[in-house]
Structure 1
Amino acid sequence: MTIYPASHERYESEPSLADLRGDGARMAPHWVTPAAPAPDPVSPALIHGVVVPAASARLIDATAEYGG
């Protein structure tokens, strides 16, 4: 495991967005996961018994304004 030393100054203030992005870029190779296999398709006729509360349906319906 590689250890990246940090300066004392870095702990005295909040990290910047650039610092956080750099940290994430350095950590990314350590968190590689295998791709999950795609699920088998299901016919819409087999999907039944799903109940969506009215408030959730309104929320989803309203998101169309933001997506496109």
Structure 2
Amino acid sequence: MTNLELYTSTPADLDGDLASLRGDCARMAPHWAAPDRIVALPVSPSLIHGVTVPEGSARVLEAMSEYRD
């Protein structure tokens, strides 16, 4: 059995309607750290060497007809 310990001044809505979800998100937003701006640096082509696929994964893909045909 799950023991839900909730510390809130409003009753918990375990059915989760949209208004409840939006309220939860608004309360949590200050706790989520996000950078002001994401700067992607270019990667030198000499650092890109290709993709390595594990042998087991390659066998799975070979067995799937949409990849083999």
Structure 1 length-normalised TM: 0.43
Q: Comparing both chains, which one has the higher relative contact order based on Cα–Cα distances under 8 Å and sequence gaps of 6 or more?
A: 2
TM-score (norm 2): 0.43
Q: Which has the higher helix share?
A: 1
Q: Which has the larger radius of gyration?
A: 2
